[in-house]
Amino acid sequence: MVFSSLFFLYLFLPLNLIFYRFAPSIKAKNITMLVFSLIFYAWGEPIYVLLLVGMTAADYFLALKIDECEPRSKKAKRLLSLAVFVDLSMLGIFKYGSFILSNTKALTGFPSTVPSVALPIGISFYTFQLISYMADVYRKDVKAQKSFYMLLLYVSMFHQCIAGPIVRYKDVSAQLENRTVTFGDISDGIWRFSFGLAKKAILANACGSVADNLLASKTVGTMPALSLWVGVFAFSLQIYLDFSAYSDMAIGMGRMIGIHYNENFDYPYISRSVSEFWRRWHISLGSFFRDYVYIPLGGNRGTKVRTVLNLLAVWALTGLWHGASWNFVLWGLYFFIFICLEKLFLSKPLEKNTHLSHIYLCFVVFFGWVLFKFTSLSEIGLALKGMFGLNSNGFINFESGAIIKSNIFVLLFSALVSTPVAKRAGEVIQFTFINRKWAKILYSAGRIALPLILFLLSTAALIGDSYNPFLYFRF
């Protein structure tokens, strides 16, 4: 089940909100959310609910034991290590098992047959949430949760369990125990959810369709150069709009029930360096690796060599987190190189030349998406060569030209939505005219009408289009 399915929009979510509204106490509301969350997660693959519950149970008991220990004692450290080992083992088996065995077979011939293991959706997200919870209990940043069902609710909350953002227990623990919902929360939540839904159903799906047509694996070696450039451009818009839309909808649904999730995207394409880009893109993942990997390894407190090694560990893990394939490792190392160059040599030149620095960032990220899009290294090579006409592929042909012409305005509008231009224009208009009575009336009417219009347009787009993937479900 995905947020942009008609079943979710017109049955699952309304029923959830109705049952939640009439639950008589905060405990009843939390149980309602837990039941709906487990149903949501089990919808496509019921057996993997047992994995989710089992990992949560193991960490629940280990966290209680850690909580009884002296701060950062040897016993607490052993218990934390055990918890992290269990969590990463499950992630390794289900996400990386086949990848490891296939590489072993290629090198040694063993095993003769590589078993195919289905990837539990969202396993990377809830594994990292559990690890952050255990680390924070170990650090005494939070108390261990005494109620198992409350910890399971935190881990499995359907708003963010499947594709993030990665929510830290210490950020929401108080809200899980006690929360209130104001009219402003509901209004903001509906607006945010509707905006995210429109980004997904209308724009991300359209960009994805263009990208898939222009970057099809079977034809990537023969596609004209312009088609490849436009295809990668469309993919860069799709992946941002798709993932940020999921975060928008998760944040919006949280607001509807009084839970405030942190922002996960901050218009990353307006960045002027790779370092800034990754402070704005998938913020919850970047902060996780910073706080639970980079800083514990020493961060930038040691020598330059040590700092580079710490960054190498972070970016190798970042690449692997996104998928069990060598292209993702290459993608992570690609950004590692630019992060290092910026830290060692490029930071001052980039600060002085703001326009050139933005162009630099756009090109670095653009070619990074080529590595991300194609899982085959040979396809990556063909795509990169083809973008510069080195496959004897020409500049444009009739078929790809027709695709580009029919979608050019969608791509341009999607690019505009990927910047804060519209948001800032709205803020200027609001602060300029907000004290005028007619402006207040129009603003209030817009807060009611726009979410409804976006919801109806999204519904129409979903009814008329069977193309509706969520890219980050595979991570």
Return d(Cα 163, Cα 247) in angstroms, integer: 8
Return d(Cα 159, Cα 162) in angstroms, integer: 8
195-217 pLDDT tens trace: 999 999 999 999 999 999 999 87
Return d(Cα 56, Cα 234) in angstroms, integer: 39
> Taking a C-beta distance cutoff of 8 angstroms, is the pair 163, 122 a contact?
yes
Q: Which helix (H) or strand (E) holds 288?
A: helix 283-289
Least confident among 64-73, 304-313, 374-383, 443-452:
443-452
pLDDT at 193: 96
pLDDT at 112: 81
Q: Mean pLDDT over all residues of the chain?
A: 90
Return d(Cα 285, Cα 269) in angstroms, integer: 17
pLDDT at 447: 76
> Taking a C-beta distance cutoff of 8 angstroms, is the pair 157, 168 a contact?
no
pLDDT at 434: 67
Residue 261, Cβ neighbours under 10 Å: how many?
22
Where does 29-77 show beta strands of DSSP type E? none
Q: What percent of the chain is modeled with pLDDT above 90? A: 69
Q: 338 is written with which tokens?
A: 């630019």
pLDDT at 119: 84
Return d(Cα 475, Cα 472) in angstroms, integer: 5
Least confident among 3-7, 46-50, 128-132, 351-355:
351-355
Residue 200, judged by CB atoms within 10 A of its CB (0-12, 13-18, 19+), counts as: buried
31-41 pLDDT tens trace: 999 999 999 99
Return d(Cα 438, Cα 200) in angstroms, integer: 33
DSSP 8-state class, residue 471: G
Q: Cite the active site residues.
A: 322
Q: What percent of the chain is modeled with pLDDT above 70? A: 97
> Taking a C-beta distance cutoff of 8 angstroms, is the pair 328, 312 a contact?
no
Q: Which spans in 158-281 are helix H?
A: 169-177, 183-198, 205-214, 225-256, 274-280
Instruction: Decide if pLDDT at 6 tops 70.
Output: yes
pLDDT at 472: 59
59-99 pLDDT tens trace: 999 999 999 998 889 999 999 999 999 999 999 999 998 88
Q: 154 is written with which tokens?
A: 């935190």
According to the per-residue pLDDT averaged within each range, which of 52-61, 161-170, 300-309 is highest?
52-61
Q: What's the Rg (C-alpha) of the chain? A: 23
Instruction: Decide if pLDDT at 229 tops 90.
Output: yes
Return d(Cα 233, Cα 221) in angstroms, integer: 18
Residue 76, judged by CB atoms within 10 A of its CB (0-12, 13-18, 19+), counts as: buried
* Rounded average pLDDT over 432-459: 80
Q: What angle do CA 310, 321, 165 make, to 5 degrees?
A: 105
Residue 315, Cβ neighbours under 10 Å: how many?
24
* Rounded average pLDDT over 226-250: 95
| Closest residue by Cα to residue 263 from 166, 348, 334 | 166
Instruction: Decide if pLDDT at 156 tops 80.
Output: yes
**φ/ψ of residue 410, rounded to 5:** -65, -45
According to the per-residue pLDDT averaged within each range, which of 266-280, 338-352, 453-467 is highest?
266-280
Residue 205, judged by CB atoms within 10 A of its CB (0-12, 13-18, 19+), counts as: buried
- 474 pLDDT band (50/70/90 cuts)? low
DSSP 8-state class, residue 144: P
